[in-house]
Chains A and B, each alone.
Chain A
């Protein structure tokens, strides 16, 4: 158990819908990272927040957004969902702005 929690574990929704994924980092970690993992694209870094502020952006679509709240938990919002958004979404946390990342169990999203 890494100490990073994610909810929900599974999510099934329809195209065009909007979902919110939630992540709680390890106690004391200030950075939260979001990743998408799919069979065809592999592991893709989406976005990082550090102490409430966006720190780095990767291959995140405009339909996706994230935020980190004062209690340091983070939410990833996915809107206008498409079939191709079906994937595993992982959250990771680290103590500082970089360094060792500890991963949560992931949310498996299925868009029908």
Chain B
């Protein structure tokens, strides 16, 4: 079955970078886009961007342009999200999610399988 397993919690200082991994299994990695969505404490869900694992093409939300980088490793079926210049407002639970519906032809779709989330805490 489809599984997404994320790396463990991180604590970072302001100005640092964090790199979160998302290892996938149970499906053909290059078939489906991967998204990153974050959730700040007590707040809603915020889409950060998506990556097409076939060619590594990315699409980022404007808010994160210049600070986020999404990459993939096809040999291990893993995607990565790196966020730089961290500030306290980036403290959040970060999720990876994939979209496996046959109706999804690009990244503009609905994620249906999610990782367990990775808590990133930014504190001096």
Partners in one complex: no
